[in-house]
Amino acid sequence: MLNDADVLIQKNIEQIFLLNNYQRELFKRFISDFMMKTDAIFNINALKMLLFVTVNVINMTMIFSICFSFVISEFKETFNFFIQCMHEELFNDCLSS
């Protein structure tokens, strides 16, 4: 990528948030007061990025994944970004309807 002065700028991706429409619909349909859990899985790819996984437990004792995020490290900022994305993509829609 070049800036206005045609100088090469390097950018690094630090976090990727993943959510699809099917997961969003499941979340809206089965939102509950039971539990939503986020955990990090280590060393699952060549870049050694962490994978945050959030799951929801519904009242029929079934578990389904809600969203994912690849992150470089477990800093406070990465959790804040993950929670912010979840709130914007999932909870705002549920609260407004």
**Of 29 and 94, more confident:** 29
- Domain-embedded: residue 41: yes
* Residue listed under structure tokens 């829609």: 93
In a domain, 6, yes or no: no
In a domain, 9, yes or no: no
- Residue 40 covered by a domain: yes
User: Does some domain include residue 2?
Assistant: no
Q: Would you state the pLDDT for residue 94?
A: 56
Which pLDDT tens digit goes with each residue over 17-76? Answer: 989 888 888 787 776 666 677 888 877 778 788 888 888 877 677 788 888 898 888 888
Task: Judge contact between 70 and 49, C-beta under 8 A.
Answer: yes
44, part of any domain: yes
Question: Would the pTM of this model clear 0.75, i.e. be above it?
Answer: no
How many Cβ atoms are within 10 Å of 23's Cβ, its own excluded?
A: 19
pLDDT at position 97 is 47
